[in-house]
Amino acid sequence: MYVGSKGKMLGTRIIPESKMKAYKAPRKTLQRCSGTWAEWFEEMRGGQSATCGFNWAGPLTEICLLGNIAIRTGKRIDWEGEKMQITNDRDANKYIKEPYHNDWSLDV
């Protein structure tokens, strides 16, 4: 639920009802897609580029993961993207690429 000074939003509902009745949806200006996987396959086949492209999804994921590291360490982190290193906390770099564990080698 989002609470504002003029009302509330719960899912797709606006409260009070008078605000919901007065609401006019904006005109659709973005191209609609048939779904993430369908878009991805279309692009792989040489068609139109997917709207969920790596050019923005990669950096967005990087920011989210760095935020998780900051929360995990309890510290502000300074990130050097080209080197993929945290520059102000060497110990935090262990979270950038955790060691690979080959579970197949375990004796069960």
Element (H, E) at 36: helix 36-44
94 is a domain residue: yes
pLDDT tens digits for range 9-21: 999 999 999 999 9
> How many domains are there within the chain?
1
38 is a domain residue: no
Angstrom distance (rounded) from CA 21 to CA 3:
18
Q: Where are the beta strands (DSSP E) in the chain?
A: 2-3, 8-10, 13-15, 79-80, 85-86
- Region of poorest pLDDT, from 45-49, 57-61, 76-80, 97-101: 97-101
Domain residues for the domain of 65 are 54-101
List the strands of the sheet with 8-10, edge to edge.
2-3, 8-10, 13-15
Mean pLDDT in residue range 82-94 = 94
The model's confidence at residue 53, banded by pLDDT at 50, 70 and 90, is confident
pLDDT attached to residue 85: 95
DSSP output for 48-68 = SPPTT-HHHHHHHHHHHHHHH
pLDDT at 90 over 80: yes
30 is a domain residue: no
